[in-house]
């Protein structure tokens, strides 16, 4: 069950993100690779029935559909011979979706009524982002479990305003230099406020570790833009044949080139930052190792997108299963000691307070 | 009898247990313990494909098992809705029916449902609201691309008089307003705004050779106003985005790219339908005033001479307007029919 793999993955990971290499510990870690056992055929049936029922109920069933989807993906993800479990009920999700639907609908209609109203709504949503994040994290953590113990999120709304609101004002002032540090603060806030059972997670990365991935991403984008402008401009100039305006085809191709490049660089940054994040998580002395590859992720995203477009959406389940399988295959639990020793949260009073609050705010707003 | 993993609810330690159900009582036996609970007091998660089930015991402990059939036999009539859904997922006919329902419903919704609802709602929007939206849009355009008209005052007055004479017998057209603006960045164009404002650019007026051509274009814009195309367009675009977001909510992989292309194609499709409607309206209105729709074809010809790219059919599905050649052909056909 628990297999100790050769250290080759550690070497590859060390060269990929040396900054996040876990500090050497005296006890050798037992490696438990994550695994995903979902099957595209099986999930297609769940997905299409979900879609049909969502349509015939005018969207109401989408909350039940979400629970079934999440349960399927959680239950098929395993580590150390134990699956994850998603325990949320559909009704709070339905409530949250109705709220999101109303806000989103008003927002998109307000564009045509008055720009001032839309601006006001956009500002309101921006101000409420920390609230939505805390409620969402709380909801998701509480209804996620592994080996019968639930996760929980103890972050407060007030605490979320620094990383998820105030720091955004520092970004333009510092000419975006602060952006990676803000991202680090956000990840730190999210990780350090999570608990598994009675154990509070720790974040073992320096904020400065996040600087390099974003700097590299920025450099790649600038390089891509220059390349696209020079190369694309030359191609357009060569194909204009004296016409006064470039042809539509070359303009579409240019737009595709520019956005395609940003998309690929975005995936690169996401893979590096995700690795940093998981490699920094400390669960009572146990660590994670994430080795997502930027090129592999790009390949997955590109082929998934092509497959979905070419199949008119029918390969969406296949794409989701592939992605989950890849992500799980790149994650390993490094256990330093006994995994059975995780204990449920001891104090009863905090649980009661949580339940009380949950009653009022037990809602996951969004789609 | 079935096997399971037992968790005591206090730590993460799993124990192998054997479970036996008899007389609505579940007996759980581990290596060094044995407990019994009434089945009624146990909460069970619904069945989902081959995934495991969890039995939540009243003392906070739980048993996880992969033996779905044994759990269903022991806890019948639980989670009725999800049991039904699970049956649907398992049966090939239900899955096939779901595919048909999904595709048919989406085609039906986008081809008829969304336009039908948009039309009904647009008719119920008070004209003051519509006018306000139009004024808002016009104010924004005036700040950006529309500049004060440089046409001579008497030319504008003459066109307004022709317009007023033309709209006299059209119901609801009494408060339509004709606006002229210089717009070098847009070029020759005319468009209708919600609430009855019709804008001609100076460049458009200069392109026209006679009043019949002016009225041909004006009639097209009046068609947009009469059919409330502007409000319907706004409502339909919003509905498309909402539905697309709902459906694709769970598609994390490149969802923006995947959703935006069909959304854009649909919106262009709706727009082309409105343009064709407005053309048909214009041809009928022109003939009712003894003006040949050929005048509309003349203006389109001038467009083609000025912008040869308009002839191209290669981007027909991306375009907000029908192919110009087709519009000319329809106008000529309308002119030649009795």
Q: Residue B197: in which H helix or E strand, if any?
A: strand B197-201
Do B151 and B70 belong together in one domain? no
Do B45 and B108 belong together in one domain? no
Whether chain A has a CB inside 8 Å of the CB on B274: the answer is no
Question: Among residues 48-67 of chain A, which lie with CB inside 8 Å of chain B?
Answer: 48-49, 51-56, 59, 62, 64, 66
Domain final residue, candidates B76, B96, B113: B76
Domain final residue, candidates B76, B92, B116: B76
DSSP A231-273: HHHHHHHHHSTT-SS--HHHHHHHHHHHHHHHHHHHHHHHHHH
B192: three-class secondary structure by DSSP: strand
Please state the rounded mean pLDDT for residues B58-87.
92
Question: Among residues 5-34 of chain A, which lie with CB inside 8 Å of chain B?
Answer: none
- Tell me how far apart the alpha carbons of residues B235 and A54 are, in angstroms, rounded to a whole number: 22
Do B66 and B144 belong together in one domain? no
Do B149 and B17 belong together in one domain? no
CA of B151 vs chain A CAs: smallest distance (Å): 28
Terminal-to-terminal C-alpha distance of chain B? 85
The token pair at A150 is: 């639930």
Do B104 and B206 belong together in one domain? no
Cβ-count burial of A180 within 10 angstroms (0-12 exposed, 13-18 middle, 19+ buried)?
Answer: buried
Do B42 and B86 belong together in one domain? no
DSSP A119-148: HHHHHHHHHHHHHHHHHHHHHHHHTEEETT
Do B136 and B8 belong together in one domain? no
CA of B333 vs chain A CAs: smallest distance (Å): 30
Count of domains in chain B?
3
B88 lies in which domain range?
A: 78-124
ipTM: 0.81
Cβ separation of A75 and B52 shorter than 8 Å?
A: yes
Do B106 and B238 belong together in one domain? no
Q: Which of B12, B48, B95 sits opposite A148 (nearest CB)?
A: B12
Do B90 and B228 belong together in one domain? no
Cβ separation of A248 and B312 shorter than 8 Å?
A: yes
The pLDDT tens digits along chain A (367 residues) read 344 444 344 434 444 444 445 555 556 889 999 999 999 999 999 999 999 998 889 889 988 999 999 999 999 999 999 999 999 989 888 888 888 878 877 887 777 677 788 888 889 888 988 988 998 899 999 999 999 999 999 999 999 999 999 999 999 999 999 999 999 999 999 999 999 998 999 999 999 999 999 999 999 999 998 888 888 788 777 776 666 566 667 777 777 788 888 888 999 999 999 999 999 999 999 999 999 999 999 999 889 888 888 888 889 899 999 999 999 999 999 999 888 888 776 544 444 334 434 444 555 655 5
Torsion from C-alpha of B150, B154, B159, B161, nearest 10 degrees = 140
- Tell me if B196 sits within 8 A of B218, measured CB to CB: no
Domain final residue, candidates B97, B124, B151: B124
* B223 closest CA partner among B299, B177, B274, B161: B274
A80: three-class secondary structure by DSSP: coil
Cβ separation of A105 and B238 shorter than 8 Å?
A: yes
CA of B269 vs chain A CAs: smallest distance (Å): 17
Q: Which of B11, B13, B258 sits opposite A308 (nearest CB)?
A: B258
- Tell me how far apart the alpha carbons of residues B261 and B244 are, in angstroms, rounded to a whole number: 11
CA of A20 vs chain B CAs: smallest distance (Å): 26
Return the CATH number at B65.
2.30.29.30
Phi, psi at B210, each rounded to 5°: -150, 175
| Residues of chain A neighbouring B257 (CB-CB closer than 8 A) | 263, 305
Do B284 and B178 belong together in one domain? yes
Do B157 and B244 belong together in one domain? yes
Whether chain A has a CB inside 8 Å of the CB on B141: the answer is no
Do B143 and B268 belong together in one domain? yes
């Amino acid at each position: 069950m628990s297999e100790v793999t050769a250290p080759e993955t550690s070497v590859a990971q060390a060269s990929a993100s040396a900054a996040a290499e876990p500090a050497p510990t005296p006890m050798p870690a037992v490696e438990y690779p994550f695994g995903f056992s979902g099957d595209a055929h099986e999930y297609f049936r769940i997905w299409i029935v979900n879609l049909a029922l969502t349509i015939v109920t005018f969207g109401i069933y989408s909350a039940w559909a979400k629970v079934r989807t999440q349960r399927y993906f959680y239950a098929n993800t395993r580590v150390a011979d134990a699956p994850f479990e998603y325990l949320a009920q559909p009704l709070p999700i339905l409530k949250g979706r109705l709220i999101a639907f109303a806000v989103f609908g008003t927002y998109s209609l307000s564009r045509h009524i008055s720009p001032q109203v839309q601006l006001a709504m956009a500002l309101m949503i921006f101000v409420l982002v920390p609230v939505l994040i805390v409620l969402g994290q709380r909801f998701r953590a509480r209804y996620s479990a592994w080996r019968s113990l639930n996760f929980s999120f103890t972050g407060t709304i007030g605490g979320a305003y620094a990383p998820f609101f105030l720091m955004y004002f520092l970004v333009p002032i510092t000419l975006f230099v602060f952006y990676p540090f803000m991202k680090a603060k956000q990840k730190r806030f999210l990780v350090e406020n999570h608990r598994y059972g009675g154990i509070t997670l720790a974040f073992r990365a320096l904020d400065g570790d996040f600087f390099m991935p974003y700097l590299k991403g920025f450099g790649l984008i600038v390089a891509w833009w220059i390349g696209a402008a020079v190369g694309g401009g030359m191609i357009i100039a060569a194909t204009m044949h004296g016409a006064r305006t470039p042809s539509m085809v070359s303009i579409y191709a240019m737009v595709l080139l520019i956005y395609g490049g940003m998309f690929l660089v975005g995936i690169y940054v996401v893979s590096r930052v995700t690795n940093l994040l998981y490699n920094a998580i400390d669960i009572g002395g146990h660590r994670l190792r994430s080795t997502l590859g930027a090129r592999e992720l790009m390949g997955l995203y590109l082929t998934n997108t092509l497959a979905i477009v070419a199949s008119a959406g029918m390969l969406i389940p296949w794409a989701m299963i592939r992605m989950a399988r890849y992500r799980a295959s790149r994650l390993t639990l490094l256990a330093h000691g006994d995994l059975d020793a995780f204990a449920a949260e001891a104090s009863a009073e905090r649980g009661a307070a949580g339940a009380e609050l949950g009653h009022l705010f037990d809602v996951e707003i969004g789609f | 009898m079935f096997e399971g993993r037992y968790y005591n609810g206090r730590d993460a330690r799993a124990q192998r247990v054997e479970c036996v159900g008899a007389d609505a009582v579940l007996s759980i036996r581990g290596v060094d313990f044995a407990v019994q609970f009434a089945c009624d007091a146990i909460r069970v998660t619904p069945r989902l494909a081959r995934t495991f089930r969890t039995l939540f015991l009243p003392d906070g402990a739980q048993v996880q098992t992969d033996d779905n059939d044994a759990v269903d036999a022991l806890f019948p009539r639980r989670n009725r809705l999800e049991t039904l859904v699970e049956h649907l997922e398992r049966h090939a006919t239900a899955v096939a029916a779901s595919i048909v329902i999904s595709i048919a419903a989406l085609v039906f919704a986008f081809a008829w449902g969304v336009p039908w609802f948009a039309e009904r709602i647009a008719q119920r929007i008070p004209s003051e609201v519509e006018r306000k939206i139009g004024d808002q849009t016009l104010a924004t355009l005036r700040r950006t691309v529309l500049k004060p008209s440089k046409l001579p005052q008497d030319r504008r007055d003459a066109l307004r008089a022709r317009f007023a004479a033309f709209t006299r017998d059209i119901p609801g057209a009494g408060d339509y307003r004709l606006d002229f603006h210089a717009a070098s960045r847009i070029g020759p164009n005319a468009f209708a705004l919600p609430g009855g404002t019709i804008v001609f650019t100076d460049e458009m007026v200069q392109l026209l050779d006679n009043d019949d051509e002016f009225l041909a274009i004006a009639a097209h814009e009046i068609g947009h106003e009469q059919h409330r195309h502007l409000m319907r367009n706004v409502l339909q675009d919003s509905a498309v985005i909402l539905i697309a977001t709902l459906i694709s909510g769970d598609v994390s992989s490149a969802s923006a790219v995947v959703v935006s292309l069909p959304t854009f194609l649909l919106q262009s499709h709706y727009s082309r339908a409105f343009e064709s409607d407005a053309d048909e309206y214009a041809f009928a209105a022109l003939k009712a005033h003894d003006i040949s729709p050929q005048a509309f074809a003349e203006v389109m010809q001038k467009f083609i001479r000025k912008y040869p790219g308009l002839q191209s059919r290669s981007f027909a599905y991306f375009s907000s307007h029908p192919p110009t050649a087709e519009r000319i052909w329809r106008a000529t056909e309308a002119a030649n029919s009795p």
